[in-house]
Structure 1
Amino acid sequence: MPAASDHDGPEDNHRTLLYFGWLTLFVHLATPAGYLIDIQASYLLKNQLHATATEISTFRLVTGIPVYIAFAFGLARDHWNPLGLRDRGFFLIFAPITAAAFIWMAFAGISYTGLVVGMLLAMLSSRFTAAAYQGLIALVGQEKLMSGRLSALSNVVSSVPVVAGAFASGYVSDHLAPQEAFLLVALVTLLIAVFGLWNPASVFGQTYEKPQARGADFVGNVRRLVKHKAVYPALLICFLWNFAPGSATPLQFYLADELHASDSVYSYYNGIFAAAFIPTFLLYGVLCKKVALNKLLWWGTIVAVPQMVPLAFIRSADLALVLAAPIGLMGGLATAAYFDLAMRSCPPGLQGTLMMLVDGVLALSARAGDLLGSWIYHSGAAHGFTLCVIATTVVYALILPLIPLAPKALIGTRDGEANPEAAADVNG
């Protein structure tokens, strides 16, 4: 079967990966939900406005509303053509609006209400930018048959801000004023607008004229989304993968209360954990060109099911930091495979809708899993954290029976390998 690289050329694919590498970095650095802004906002609320823990949690809950309804921004991306430039139009319009919100928060008088309003505006406008980015990367991944490589690339690059934020959060909070952090992120956000001016042929050459980009009217698109069988296993798998009752608040409390570790240990654990994903993301980028997605889904999930089990045996903060690396390594293949599956599962013309639906599902499942984990931890007495680890392992195991539900034509090929049956479904 012909490979995408046979048609586009290695140099063309290289330029495509370069474009999305930089765009991914800027999008994740500039997100209002990222480490830099979230940490600075929480310290500002706590230290200058003397907000309580409940008020800070409420702030995060309210300002996170646009993430929970992310699919609405994806639908807007799939139906709206701002400035006649499609995704580039979203970058040109909404990146400056997001930057303006950060600048306003930097210079406006500090108040709880002002921060909520400013952050909500930044979150709302940034969701349009995210929808354009997610929809574009999925569309190009489908058209060029390189969803696996783009999955590996986006996961590697998006890990950089997470790792840097985890290790630098304390230093940043001590040496960078919240106002300066807002201005720094505003500057990075404006760089996304620059991508609206860039029109590389390797990414945009006839991208919106191909069958994968063709949609219908609003009602027709909603009907097609509901009937598209590939959507459901992809969404369910992503939900279960991010539903980890033992990985957030219970782990933080266990380290602090049971192991008497400092607050920085939890931050360092997250940094090592996130960094350890990167080698297996890179491995996925190699394997996806040699092995069909169905096998990678099985391999990644089988390795990932016992991912959190080592946490049940930690008895010191130092051991927790040591185990963070192998725990992270066990999750990389699965994460890349699930994102690859999501990109392949997008119905024609609805790439933004499904990818932003995945975003919302990931956010909601993380919140729900953390709530369940907190309840288990506090109600389980001496064995609360162990029960959280068991619950996480059971949830991950539930992914296994979902893999056969993904359409065989969708997952039966390697990255770059054409599938006539899947192509016929798109063209038909």
Structure 2
Amino acid sequence: MALPIEVTAIPDQAPHPAPPASTLQRIGVLLSGGVVLVLLQFASPAVGLIGLPITFFLKNKLHLDAQAVANFNLFASIPLIFSFLIGFLRDRWNPFGLGDRGYLSIFGALTAAGFGLVAFLPPSYATLLFGVLLVSTGLMLCSSAARALTSAIGQKNAVTGMAGTIVNLASLLPDAGSYALGGFLSQSLEGQQAAAAARAIFLVGAGLMFAVMLFGLFGPRRLFDSSVTTRGQFTFLADVGRLAGHWPIYVVLTIYVLWQFGPAGGVALQYHLSNDLHASDAQVGLWYALFSLGFIPVITAYGWLCSKLKLSTLLWIGTLLAIPQFAPFFFIHSVNDSLVAAVALGVLGGLGQGAYVDLAIRVTPKGLQGTMMMLLISTYWFAYRGGDLLGARLYKEGGFNTAVIVTIMVYALILPMLLLVPKRYTNTVDGQVSALPA
């Protein structure tokens, strides 16, 4: 399992210059696209800086048990689960002729306003649920454009591994910081009134989305020019048919469901750390931060490995390493041991995460990158929240080790799915042109 990660779309014919030819310039454009992904990841009410305090707010101030928090998270994830529809909207609608710049500036401003509105509503279960649903919808509209920026360059230049690496790092780096800050923020708000605690959380989100709006208005022209798409090249039904009829997508999504369906990695883990190992809010946040940090060196190395090894090799090695990701918890009996193990768990999952995202970009049909990348996010949250529900029940009825055993069994199911991936997508290294979908 990995923390929420995202991917990205493709340029077409347009009256703009093609992306720079040099590797250094391509990396520069990809990195500029990573900036807005970093901002969006910090602002997400589902993870880290904002999401972790909300779950602790529900646990500590509203006194909800693990199952109730898992149910809240599932309801709050509705915009995320159906975000593929927003991605399809991005691929077909050009707001005011501004393209992706319009998505980031217009919906960045509206989402910032939504955060501000919710910040001053009386805090309650209903208010928090409404607030998370509202801002998640706006954030997904921005994300559909942001994720469609980076893989556009990666797919066009046959550097999907490099693009996937930057996208992964753009999510993991803020995760590492935001989970640590989120834990400390949650703990620092313990002594405050509920209204002040909720207000602080949502005002942070408002500031971050305001920064997204500014990026949309003043972000580098080279990035937005490189990702211009020809929307409406196909009819609505033709686009639906191209997506639904491209069967490798189903293999990729199944792999991603199995990878993210980790009953041991969500609410069950949070309650295990808090209740069984007696970790503080800050220590729980630190655990998730260290978990993200463990991914980073491996994901960074993937950017080099993908140019030396075929994707098929990386997929098999990454999966074999990922299967026992949560097994160290069988031997952990203290908070300090869990913090040390968090880094190891991230390391075990890093290669698989990089390979799965690389594969997703490679199989994406041209012109539907926004749809596919948001479909990947939908798959992530559907699987993650489903794992949350099962994990909460397993934790309640059989303890945390039961959730770990089930997670290992689910990850093992990825191996036979790799046999179904068409070799034409995996038999090349980064930089070599393969048979990508039309």
| Length-normalised TM-score, structure 2 | 0.85
Q: Which residue matches 2:40?
A: 27
Q: Which residue matches 2:428?
A: 413
Higher mean alpha-carbon deviation, 179-188 vs 13-22, is at: 179-188
Note the C-alpha offset of 1:240. 0.4
1:223 aligns to 2:247 (yes or no):
no
Query: Matches of 1:58 and 1:7 in 2, distance apart?
Result: 47
Aligned equivalent of 1:178, options 184, 198, 206: 198
Query: Matches of 1:308 and 1:160 in 2, distance apart?
Result: 21
The question of whether the paired residues in 2 share the 8 Å contact of 1:214 and 1:348 is answered with no
1:336 aligns to 2:360 (yes or no):
no
1:391 aligns to 2:406 (yes or no):
yes
Query: Matches of 1:293 and 1:244 in 2, distance apart?
Result: 24
The question of whether the paired residues in 1 share the 8 Å contact of 2:108 and 2:142 is answered with yes
Which structure 1 residue ranges, 4+ long, deviate > 6 Å from structure 2? none
Q: Which residue matches 1:301?
A: 319
Spell out the pairing of 1:274-289 with structure 2 (5 A cutoff).
274-289=292-307
Query: Matches of 2:228 and 2:371 in 1, distance apart?
Result: 16
Note the C-alpha offset of 1:410. 1.5
Note the C-alpha offset of 1:116. 3.5
Return closer, same or farther for 1:280/1:46 CA change in 2, 3 Å cut-off: closer
Q: Which residue matches 2:175?
A: 162
For 1:25, give the aligned amino acid: V
1:194 aligns to 2:214 (yes or no):
yes
Q: Which runs of 5+ in 2 are unaligned?
A: 1-17, 190-195
| SS across alignment from 2:428 | coil
Note the C-alpha offset of 1:83. 1.4
Return closer, same or farther for 1:133/1:372 CA change in 2, 3 Å cut-off: same
| SS across alignment from 2:136 | helix
Q: Which residue matches 1:78?
A: 91
1:208 aligns to 2:228 (yes or no):
yes
Q: Which residue matches 2:375?
A: 357
For 2:410, give the aligned amino acid: V
Note the C-alpha offset of 1:139. 2.4
Query: Matches of 1:247 and 1:52 in 2, distance apart?
Result: 19
Note the C-alpha offset of 1:134. 1.8
**Percent of matched pairs sharing the same residue:** 36
Return closer, same or farther for 1:32/1:261 CA change in 2, 3 Å cut-off: closer
| Length-normalised TM-score, structure 1 | 0.87
Return closer, same or farther for 1:286/1:245 CA change in 2, 3 Å cut-off: same
The question of whether the paired residues in 1 share the 8 Å contact of 2:52 and 2:179 is answered with no
Note the C-alpha offset of 1:110. 4.4
For 2:26, give the aligned amino acid: N
Higher mean alpha-carbon deviation, 215-224 vs 194-203, is at: 194-203
Note the C-alpha offset of 1:249. 3.3
Note the C-alpha offset of 1:16. 1.1
Q: Which residue matches 2:260?
A: 242
The question of whether the paired residues in 2 share the 8 Å contact of 1:13 and 1:202 is answered with no
The question of whether the paired residues in 2 share the 8 Å contact of 1:215 and 1:350 is answered with no
Note the C-alpha offset of 1:44. 5.6
Query: Matches of 1:206 and 1:162 in 2, distance apart?
Result: 27
Return closer, same or farther for 1:36/1:377 CA change in 2, 3 Å cut-off: closer
| SS across alignment from 1:418 | coil
Query: Matches of 1:139 and 1:47 in 2, distance apart?
Result: 43
Aligned-residue CA RMSD (Å): 2.7
Note the C-alpha offset of 1:318. 2.4
1:400 aligns to 2:422 (yes or no):
no
Query: Matches of 1:134 and 1:324 in 2, distance apart?
Result: 28
Task: Give CA-to-partner distance per residue, 1:296-333, whole Å, 9 cap, x none.
Answer: 11111111112222211223332222222212111111
For 2:364, give the aligned amino acid: C
Aligned equivalent of 1:93, options 106, 111, 114: 106
Return closer, same or farther for 1:417/1:391 CA change in 2, 3 Å cut-off: same
For 2:257, give the aligned amino acid: F
Query: Matches of 1:190 and 1:227 in 2, distance apart?
Result: 39
Aligned equivalent of 1:137, options 133, 140, 150: 150
Task: Give CA-to-partner distance per residue, 1:255-277, whole Å, 9 cap, x none.
Answer: 45554555554333222112111
Higher helix share: 1
Query: Matches of 1:113 and 1:379 in 2, distance apart?
Result: 28
Query: Matches of 1:307 and 1:40 in 2, distance apart?
Result: 26
Query: Matches of 2:178 and 2:111 in 1, distance apart?
Result: 20
The question of whether the paired residues in 1 share the 8 Å contact of 2:114 and 2:134 is answered with yes
Q: Which runs of 5+ in 1 are unaligned?
A: none
Return closer, same or farther for 1:224/1:40 CA change in 2, 3 Å cut-off: same
For 2:109, give the aligned amino acid: P
Q: Which residue matches 2:388?
A: 370
The question of whether the paired residues in 1 share the 8 Å contact of 2:52 and 2:285 is answered with no
Query: Matches of 1:89 and 1:278 in 2, distance apart?
Result: 31
| SS across alignment from 2:228 | helix
Task: Give CA-to-partner distance per residue, 1:191-232, whole Å, 9 cap, x none.
Answer: 22223234645434464368xx78521111111111112201
Query: Matches of 1:194 and 1:255 in 2, distance apart?
Result: 39
| SS across alignment from 2:419 | helix
1:233 aligns to 2:246 (yes or no):
no
Note the C-alpha offset of 1:51. 6.5
1:127 aligns to 2:140 (yes or no):
yes
Query: Matches of 2:63 and 2:395 in 1, distance apart?
Result: 26
Higher mean alpha-carbon deviation, 162-171 vs 61-70, is at: 162-171
1:311 aligns to 2:326 (yes or no):
no
